Amino acid sequence: MNNKLKGYLFLIGSVVIYGLFGLFSRYTKLFPPFSQGYIRYFIVLFTLAIFFISKKVVWKRIEKKDIKWFLTWILPASFQPILTFVAFNHLPVGTTYFILYSAMIIGGIISGKIFFSEKFNIKKIFSFILILSGLFLIYRSDITLIKSVYALLAILSGLILGFWATLSKKVSSDYSEFQMMLLDSLSTFVVGLIGAVAVNEKVPPISDIASWLWIIVFAISGIIASFCLIRGFKYVEAQSGSLILPTELIFASVFGYFFLGEILKVTTYMGGFLIILAAIMPTLRSRTQHLK
């Protein structure tokens, strides 16, 4: 299979799983924000540690030249969940999603240009316009001209996401995805633990089996989604891959309809169609080359 096509498939697999995160958040709502984060990432760390202890995955010593890229990739992303949480709690949901995903795409495009010297061609520009149009159709009833620090936090969060997703390319060819995830999860775990202790959060009792089972499912799903994301960007251009990530909204809407009974508006279908069309466009050339 063509490597780029393989990369696109991994990215699609990633966004499908990330689309389930809204459901998982509902099922684990008894966990406070910081506590959910550090408990979830503790489970991730524990699971990944098993792979290394059992020698299923070999730990590779990080070379000096790669330390700066690991730090650039990991440290900003450690604070991104906090920024997103604050934004969601002070802005309308639709406004936050619109800002978050728009900034994420821009972050991926900038990252591709700065760190990988990628060209933002006509096809990518058209895809970008289609995505923004799709986001606007889906969330237009909830988008307001808000000028506040919380909108800036949402923009910063989106930019960090865009850079986090694409910068993995800098080291993914030399290190195992599991090693990268372990280091990334460790920093997020520490930030979540500090936050939970600082505000004295309380977690559900162990007797609430359902909540604890769901947070385990949440954590394991995160491992699979992150693996697919890192592996996908290994084979795909940073800019092209960033244009695929917003399809997560489509899967999230579909899962919300089937599992939560959320009714989709006509504009949601129209916006979803534009986002899917935008995500397909960067793959067309690779697919054509593969057939030749």
Q: How far apart are CA 249 and CA 262, in angstroms?
A: 14
Q: Considering only 16-20, 47-51, 162-166, 259-263, which range has the smallest mean pLDDT?
A: 259-263
Could you tell me the pLDDT band of residue 225, with boundaries at 50, 70 and 90?
Answer: very high
Q: Is 161 exposed, middle or buried (0-12, 13-18, 19+ CB in 10 A)?
A: buried
pLDDT score, position 288: 43
Task: Return the pLDDT at 125.
Answer: 86
Range 256-269 burial, b when 16+ CB lie within 10 A, else e: beeeeeeeeeeebe
pTM of the full predicted structure? 0.84
Q: Is the pLDDT of residue 118 over 80?
A: yes
Give the residue numbers spanning the domain of 15.
Answer: 3-291
**How much is the pLDDT for 149?**
82
Total domains present in the chain: 1
pLDDT band at 282, cuts 50/70/90? low
Question: Where does the pLDDT of residue 290 fall: very low under 50, low under 70, confident under 90, or very high at 90 and above?
Answer: very low
* Model pLDDT for residues 139-185, shown as the tens digit of each residue: 776 666 555 788 888 889 989 999 998 999 999 989 999 999 999 99
